[in-house]
Amino acid sequence: EAGVAQSPRYKIIEKRQSVAFWCNPISGHATLYWYQQILGQGPKLLIQFQNNGVVDDSQLPKDRFSAERLKGVDSTLKIQPAKLEDSAVYLCASSLERGLAHGQFFGPGTRLTVL
């Protein structure tokens, strides 16, 4: 079974630029999550999708971050404009259904550096 795919793996941008990350979840997984992991911290949930609907985006900085999951499969996370404090690893995870805390499978992440 193929795992969660993310691209790019690394990205370096200047502050105030925009950036987008892509995630392809495990086939058949209805729930998709985006996490932000700042160096020295644990992952923090930014947004959770159930199919292509948003379940929880309470910790998403909506003035600069946006995410979509078209057709309930792939997802993109965008930052516009980026700030220095957005430097982090952005992790995508998926699970077969909502509520399976132990069933979240994580991708390798995208490491973003904002200069």
Choose, by CB under 8 A, the member of 103, 113, 114, 115 that binds another protein: 103
User: Measured from the CB atom, is 17 or 104 closer to another protein?
Assistant: 104
CB 3 within 8 A of CB 67: no
CB 74 within 8 A of CB 23: yes
To the nearest whole angstrom, how small is the minimum distance from the Cβ of residue 81 to another protein? Answer: 27
Q: Does 109 bind another protein (CB under 8 A)?
A: yes
To the nearest whole angstrom, how small is the minimum distance from the Cβ of residue 6 to another protein? Answer: 8
**What residues from 38 to 67 belong to the interface with another protein (CB under 8 A)?**
40-45, 48, 56
